[in-house]
Structure 1
């Protein structure tokens, strides 16, 4: 049996329809999962201790993107961290990274409509494909 304790702020957020929280019971290294109202799922594997970005901030991240079959289609680990305005990427990232703190690591499950939608992305990402990203938030540039 799992018993989850929800803080007042998390309960208020859930009740207002912004985000639903769930926490795994267990040791300190247990993951924490958020499911946003949009359908984006964030599994926090390491909760950061720094600031949280806003949609208009530039963020610096390491990431690895995979298709549903596990095929990696992109990774910053090959060429170094990526820096970009958070409001200039797929909506899944814009939404999810605002729920991470600098130093945090998470796995994002992005519904197709919040990734590349019905158009896909060239020959790399087929249309209507849900994507998974392992993301590490390294920094924020205001």
Structure 2
């Protein structure tokens, strides 16, 4: 699975070419399928991407509301009236008390991914019943995850806001290319690497 995930994370995908069901000149938004932190192509299901952002000041990570206990599926509420952040933002909701994640660490992480543009859940490992295994620094996931997970402790819960340039922004045609992504991540297990 890791080999496939790593290959998908590095490779770009191309959009499918289907005839539109919308009349010419309509202002319909594209439908996209969810993608997790390690995939270069969409997964099952669909959400509608809305890349337009409101004008005004950028939102802060403190304006993002997260409900639910660490280890349980979270509920994310994104703010209205402010623009999507353009820089990587993190906030620890639960500090954790186990090993600290650094480059080379083996992690198992549960996550819920919400897209900023339409405020819908795009991927959810809690529903899958299995945390995502990864090695920090091995480029198995998007750069925003690599950077955003450094320093998390086992048992910790963190919000990570990833702008497009640290997500899928360089993958032309990717359904989430222009999206700011919001993750709530639980570090289920952290095993220090042997740097």
Match of 1:107 among 150, 159, 174: 159
Equivalent in the alignment of 1:63: 111
Distance 2:142 2:173 in 1: 11
The gaps in structure 2 that reach 5 residues or longer are 1-61, 63-85
Q: Which has the larger radius of gyration?
A: 2
TM-superposed deviation, 1:118: 3.5
Q: Please state which structure has a larger fraction of its residues in strand.
A: 1
Equivalent in the alignment of 1:78: 127
The gaps in structure 1 that reach 5 residues or longer are 1-22, 24-37
Number of residue-to-residue matches in the alignment: 104
Residues 128, 122 of structure 1: alpha-carbon distance in 2 compared, 3 angstrom cutoff? closer
Q: Which runs of 4+ in 1 moved over 2 A?
A: 118-123
For residues 85-107 of structure 1, the C-alpha deviation after alignment (integer angstroms, 9 at most, x for no partner) is 22321111111111211111011
Distance 2:95 2:180 in 1: 24
Aligned Cα root-mean-square deviation (Å): 2.1
Q: Give TM-score, length-normalised by structure 1.
A: 0.66
Q: Give TM-score, length-normalised by structure 2.
A: 0.49
